[in-house]
Amino acid sequence: MLSPASRRLTYSLAFLYALLGVALFLWPVAMAPVFAWKVTPFMTMTIGGWSLGNAWLAWIIARRWDWRLVYTTLGYLWLFGALELAVVIAFADKLQLQHPIAWLYLGALGVNVLAAFVGVADRIRLRPAVPAIGPPVRSFQRAAGIAFVVFVGFLALFGMAAPEGAIGTNGGIFPEAMSLFTLRSFAAFYLALAVAAAPLLFERRLPSLLHHAFASYGLIVAITAAALVNLRLFDFAERPGGLLYIGAYLVVGIPLLYAFYRLGTGLRAS
């Protein structure tokens, strides 16, 4: 596995993202006007959902710390920090840094990127193995993974390329119009999810898939909760694309509960 320093940094990310997520998720109305850039309370709560999900993911990774299980979720965490920081740099002129919550967001990304540098260096130096242990991946499970990567990857690439006001960005799917800064931040999140999950399409054993789903489940729960709390903002009759936003998380999240019950979360299956 990777070095103790990399593990400590992962635990630090769990703490920082939990602190950030609680503030943004529980007090979005207060945090929105003072966040790192111009966002609405719902966007603030959703970013808080990402942060809480990242905190859960980082904590599960650091607790298990078994390369054959965590290599894809670590990849997501490293990519998330690097891509989101790249978005921040690209829109540096839009930053508003008067409040500590903005600095907490930037600080979490900074530690995230540091964890990525240390982790990648460890990966090159230590070359941890990924032994094939556990029951095999079935064809329908691989098909579900392919569908996830293709769908989320499409959202990511669209969000990276779409201009402000493009179809789907002006209240058509997410119920509020997004600035380019927010749109690119959402796209960076989806891109990290898609790229990190791609190696699982070639994974032969089930424990790695189950761990990835379990560690990522906090993202599904927190983002869905933010959407349900703000359900009044959705107009499904006039803008049915909102059903896609909420439905995508439910379609993934509900079957996974059954999978965890039947197959475990990666540890039992191994």
Q: What is the pLDDT of residue 168?
A: 72
Rounded Cα–Cα distance for residues 129 and 137 (Å): 19
Instruction: With CA atoms as reference, report the closest residue to 262 among 110, 167, 141.
Output: 141
What distance in Å separates the CA atoms of residue 81 and residue 168, rounded to the nearest whole number? 25
pLDDT at 21: 98
Across all residues in the chain, what is the average pLDDT?
95
Tokens 């790695």 correspond to 208
pLDDT digits (tens, 9 = 90+) for 214-263: 999 999 999 999 999 999 999 999 999 899 999 999 999 999 999 999 99
- pLDDT beyond 90 at 129: no
Write out pLDDT tens, residues 111-120. 999 999 999 9
Q: What is the pLDDT of residues 177-225, one digit of tens each?
A: 999 999 999 999 999 999 999 999 999 999 999 999 999 999 999 999 9
User: Which pLDDT belongs to residue 248?
Assistant: 93
Q: What percent of the chain has pLDDT over 70?
A: 99
